[in-house]
Amino acid sequence: MSAPTETTAWTAADLPSLAGRTVVVTGATSGLGAITAKELARAGAHVVLAVRDTARGARLAATLAGSTEVRHLDLADLSSVRAFAASWDRPLDVLVNNAGVMAVPEARTVDRFEMQLGTNHLGPFALTNLLLPHITDRIVTVASNAHRRPGVDIDFDDINSERDYRPWRAYQQSKLANLLFTRELQRRLTEAGSPVTAHAVHPGYAATNLQGRSAGAVQRLMLAVTNRLMAQSDAMGALPTLYAATQPLPGDSYTGPDGRGELRGHPGPAQRSAHAQDDLRARRLWDLSEQLTGVRFPDLGDGSPRA
Answer yes or no: are the C-beta atoms of 82 and 58 closer than 8 Å.
Answer: no
CATH of the domain at 100: 3.40.50.720
Domain range spanning residue 283?
Answer: 15-292
The 10 Å Cβ neighbour count of residue 106 is 13
- Report yes or no on 7 lying in a domain: no
- Report yes or no on 75 lying in a domain: yes
**CA distances from residue 121 to 207, 211, 236, 246, 273 in whole angstroms, order as listed:** 22, 19, 24, 23, 18
- Report yes or no on 223 lying in a domain: yes
- Report yes or no on 119 lying in a domain: yes
- Report yes or no on 78 lying in a domain: yes
Task: Give the pLDDT score at 1.
Answer: 43
Contacts of 248 (CB under 8 A, 6+ apart): 1, 2, 3, 4
- Report yes or no on 8 lying in a domain: no
Q: What is the pTM of this model?
A: 0.90
Of 71, 294, 276, 88, nearest in space to 173 by CA: 276
Residues in the chain: 307
| DSSP annotation string for 29-68 | TSHHHHHHHHHHHHTT-EEEEEES-HHHHHHHHTTSSSEE
Structural domain total, the chain: 1
The tens place of each residue's pLDDT in the chain, 307 residues long, gives 444 444 459 999 999 999 999 999 999 999 999 999 999 999 999 999 999 999 999 999 999 999 999 999 999 999 999 999 999 999 999 999 999 999 999 999 999 999 999 999 999 999 999 999 999 999 999 999 999 999 999 999 999 999 999 999 999 999 999 999 999 999 999 999 999 999 999 999 876 655 445 555 655 555 655 555 466 899 999 999 999 999 999 999 999 999 899 999 999 999 999 999 999 999 999 999 999 999 999 999 754 333 3
- Residues serving a catalytic function are 171
Task: Give the pLDDT score at 232.
Answer: 85
- Report yes or no on 79 lying in a domain: yes
Give the helix/strand (H/E) hosting 207: none
- Report yes or no on 306 lying in a domain: no
